[in-house]
Chain A
Amino acid sequence: MRRLIKHGNIIDDTWQPLDPDCSVPEHGQICSLEQWQDLADKEGSAVQLEPGQEPTPLFDALEKIDLLVINFPVFTDGRGFSYARDAREHGYQGELRASGHFIRDQLTYLQRCGFDAFQMADDSDLNAALTSLRDFTEHYQAAIDQPLPLFRRRS
């Protein structure tokens, strides 16, 4: 079972990984965007977005989604940061997971954009990665973790 960081703890993944070839994913399995769009019942579903797939098609059913995975095939492609914020700003409340080849030095930024779970391609040292989540304790700009910009909080 793969491990991941969620809400600051290292846990086992309870979701079935995505299988792009299966026609009807089981309940508890992560769907591709196409598979998810074909799901008859989206209640409790899980869906994975790739770069180039904006979250817009999910907006009508966000409350039915339990897990939104945003995949990073390469860590330098930052589209997922905007997708995450967009989804959260449209009211998504479920687990928002980054997966793939992002690096631990990006964890604070990912967290600020609304991710609360991190499944790293290289999960050999998740404990070390946890420390990177605490790189910053203060921020200038508003984001998902701190909706007020510093200028509304300065004292």
Chain B
Amino acid sequence: MYVYDQHDQKIIDERVAQFRDQTTRFLAGEITDGEFLPLRLQNGLYLQRLAPMLRIAVPYGLMNSSQLRKLADISRTYDKGYVHISTRQNVQLNWPLLEEVPDILAELSTVQMHAIQTSGNCIRNTTTDQFAGVASDELEDPRPYCEIIRQWSTLHPEFAFLPRKFKIAVCGSTQDRAAIHYHDIGIELVADDDGEIGLKILVGGGLGRTPAIGSVICEWLDKKHLLTYLEAVLRVYNQHGRRDNKYKARIKILVRAMGIDAFREAVEQQWTALKDGPSTLTEEEIIRARSFFRDPSYLALDSTLAMFDLEQDCTRDPIFANWITRNTQDHRLPGYRIVTLSLKATGFAPGDITAEQLELLAELSDLYSFGEIRSTHQQNMVLGDVQVSALYALWQRLQVAGLATPNIGYLTDIICCPGGDYCSLANAKSLPIAEAIQTRFDDLDYVYDLGPLELNISGCMNACGHHHVGQIGILGVDKKGQEFYQICLGGNQAKDASIGKILGPSFKQKDVPEVIDRILSTYVTLREEDESFLDTYRRVGIHPFKERAYAQAY
């Protein structure tokens, strides 16, 4: 993973000092609330319903074991002993004290972490595939490009006061696990006709109030132009994005208003001035960035032997066998597997992880996965490089710690925002809905029979829980001061992206699990052979689901 040198460290340290000074001046009444707002946001600090919330950046979701230990430490010293993994692969503290935030940032900088630009109207943390570098369907590792973008966007002087926040995601594999269609800029590594790998650039995707799928602005761009091209897009957006209405301020609205062709033209015009300038990437820089993501010291393993042992363990222990099927994936190398740790055990807020679990993960990553851990935008954690022969020992440790819930990619692996329990913008609570659904569908065989299914919950239109792109999406709405829930179906964040369609009038909280049950049994009745929920929905449309859901009172 990327390692700071003295330059990186200096930048982060200077930022900590700057924010310490800003906080001191704010507490002394020398900065107004309004002025402090963007300053603290650009350091990840929200003031929420119950306490401030601090969002710590995890660049493209990659952490090492000492960072995990530090997070555990911080959560004990400054918070309540747990943290939350966000849908943008970041880590959130829910209860820090404003006065102590500079100290937290100083602690973070000792392990090369920070909270820079994790909120505010600036370029946010760049996200990517949680299986980057180990996925079997990868064309090229996207992380060197994420790191190049991270450096370019960090404290970018021109783009710190954009019309609205700006999110970039990069993917380098056949399957899109980074949701690049739903980002302000989505970048895909693609080969041209001669097999040379370049960048396909999408622009204007996003969730929030007006969900939109990104449009292609450039089919293939030489990698060396990455930064100048981004700069041109951002400059057009910074100058022309709407600033009169914050709900119309995202780049998706500008792209839609101008039309993708006119937008492209405006970008190309800006780009002519920047292209081939000093920000053009050098060959050495690309090589340097790549050097941080070289293969760890993998062993040449005899996969037949390893698989034989694994099968024996599986035969002996069907619970282990099931976990292997549900929570592990092929690695690109023989003898290794990718392990996803579920943070979706029933009774715990989706994405929450305790200090003890963080420390355990740190230890297990040192033992079994070269000391690296990844966070996922589905709010889980990943050990990317586990030897097949170590899986049984790993699983036993995870079982004890409550991190082996075998539900990755299934109904109960719910993506959920903090909602009304924490967030002051919420229309409704979201965590109790997640729990009610997990409790109702506690029959794992039924859940597996439903196949892979994404159920996403947001507590309001801001869509932090990605409800538009869940195959089943649940949105908290406010009806005359009461909490209601709207349901949408058919969303999808993969390459054949689609936005969910609203089923009909919203439901009371207590009815939601029953409605979900009816939707699922409609699917089970209508599916052909092993057709997925999404395929069935796409074939039969929304009506059968609607009819059943609203059939009679509950």
A contacts, CB < 8 Å to B: 51, 54, 75-79, 81-83, 85-86, 89-90, 103, 105-106, 108-110, 112-113, 135-143, 147-152, 154
Do B157 and A81 have beta carbons less than 8 Å apart? Answer: yes
Extra contacts besides A86-B235, A105-B39, A151-B151 (8): CB < 8 Å: A78-B238, A79-B238, A105-B22, A109-B155, A113-B157, A113-B158, A142-B277, A150-B7
Do A140 and B157 have beta carbons less than 8 Å apart? Answer: no
Do B161 and A76 have beta carbons less than 8 Å apart? Answer: yes
Do A89 and B273 have beta carbons less than 8 Å apart? Answer: yes
| Segment from B106-114, B278-286, B537-545 that makes contact with A | B278-286
Do B14 and A141 have beta carbons less than 8 Å apart? Answer: no
Number of B interface residues in the complex (CB < 8 A)? 40
Q: With A54-B239, A82-B239, A141-B156 in contact, do A154 and B279 touch (Cβ < 8 Å)?
A: no
Q: How far is the CA of A70 from the CA of B4 in the complex (A)?
A: 37
Do A154 and B5 have beta carbons less than 8 Å apart? Answer: yes
B contacts, CB < 8 Å to A: 5, 7, 10-11, 14-15, 17-18, 22, 31, 35, 38-39, 121, 148, 151-162, 227, 235, 238-239, 243, 273, 277-279, 281-282, 285, 288
B59 to chain A, nearest CB (A): 13
Which B residues lie within 8 Å of A137 (CB)? 10, 14
Q: Main secondary structure on chain B at its contact with chain A?
A: helix
Which A residues lie within 8 Å of B31 (CB)? 103, 105
Do B279 and A149 have beta carbons less than 8 Å apart? Answer: yes
A-B contact pairs, 20 of them (CB 8 A): A76-B121, A77-B243, A78-B238, A79-B243, A81-B159, A82-B235, A86-B235, A109-B158, A112-B157, A113-B157, A135-B17, A136-B155, A139-B157, A140-B152, A140-B154, A141-B157, A142-B279, A149-B278, A151-B148, A154-B5
B242 to chain A, nearest CB (A): 11
Q: How far is the CA of A54 from the CA of B11 in the complex (A)?
A: 31
Do A135 and B157 have beta carbons less than 8 Å apart? Answer: no
Q: How far is the CA of A46 from the CA of B290 in the complex (A)?
A: 48
Question: What 4 pairs across the A-B complex have the smallest Cβ distances?
Answer: A78-B161, A112-B157, A109-B157, A151-B285
Chain A residue, CB-CB nearest to B238:
A82
Q: How far is the CA of A152 from the CA of B7 in the complex (A)?
A: 12
Do B159 and A78 have beta carbons less than 8 Å apart? Answer: yes
Do A152 and B278 have beta carbons less than 8 Å apart? Answer: yes
Q: With A78-B161, A81-B238, A135-B18 in contact, do A154 and B277 touch (Cβ < 8 Å)?
A: no
A83 to chain B, nearest CB (A): 8
Which B residues lie within 8 Å of A82 (CB)? 158, 235, 238-239
Do A149 and B161 have beta carbons less than 8 Å apart? Answer: no
Which A residues lie within 8 Å of B14 (CB)? 135-138
Do B11 and A141 have beta carbons less than 8 Å apart? Answer: no
Q: How far is the CA of A141 from the CA of B158 in the complex (A)?
A: 10
Which B residues lie within 8 Å of A54 (CB)? 239
Which A residues lie within 8 Å of B154 (CB)? 140-141
A70 to chain B, nearest CB (A): 12
- Contact among A79, A141, A143, A151 for B282, CB-based, below 8 A: A151
Q: How far is the CA of A142 from the CA of B288 in the complex (A)?
A: 18
A138 to chain B, nearest CB (A): 5
Chain A residue, CB-CB nearest to B277:
A142
- Contact among A77, A90, A113, A141 for B151, CB-based, below 8 A: A141
